[in-house]
Chains A and B, each alone.
Chain A
Amino acid sequence: MSKTWLKKWKEYTNYMYIKKNIQYSFYYSQYNKIAYSVKLEAFPGPIDNSSILVPLNEFLNDEDANNPENQVIRHDIDQRQEIKIVNKQIWEFFKDKYGGGPEIRKPSIEEKQRYSNVPKKIIELFYRKV
């Protein structure tokens, strides 16, 4: 999903406060002394993932925005800054409350690791037709 949207949501909910409070409350009690506040004016509105996708009119496709094969991630964006990989649970959590879209679905594979019995999950962001 769009990290730009998620950043707006984090600003709106004062997410850093929540995060710090959960992580450090036992060690740094001053976090509990600051009152929690939100920025209502920073309400993020519907999720907008269109900014991280190549527009459908720029390549050959069947014009179905929900078809994963048509959800081509732009190569000219900074992945770390603009893309947040989330699972279905997190996506639906935001989608149910804020709406918007489109939902971007990407395949994943599990890769066996040399030093662990637990496989590593790899998500294929960039679809390649071979």
Chain B
Amino acid sequence: MKQETEDQSQLDIIKQEATNYYQMAKEYRRERYMKDEQEVK
């Protein structure tokens, strides 16, 4: 049970890390290419 909790916690951290990168990369593309937020995926 404890191991499962630790695994889930690690999974959440990695997921958050990837989500944070997605947001930063999106913001950087918007800044670099000067597009509207709606255009940037």
Residue numbers of A with Cβ under 8 A of B are 12-15, 18-19, 22-23, 36-38, 85-87, 89-90, 93, 97, 116, 118, 120-121
Count of B interface residues, CB-CB < 8 Å: 17
Q: 20 A–B contact pairs at CB < 8 A?
A: A12-B14, A13-B15, A13-B17, A13-B18, A13-B21, A14-B18, A18-B15, A18-B22, A19-B22, A22-B19, A22-B22, A36-B15, A37-B11, A38-B15, A87-B28, A87-B31, A90-B28, A93-B21, A116-B34, A120-B34
B41 at the interface (CB under 8 A from A): yes
Contact B19 A18, beta carbon cutoff 8 Å: yes
- Residue in chain B with minimal CB distance to A116: B34
Interface of B is mostly: helix
Chain B residues lying within 8 Å of A38, measured Cβ to Cβ, are: 11, 14-15
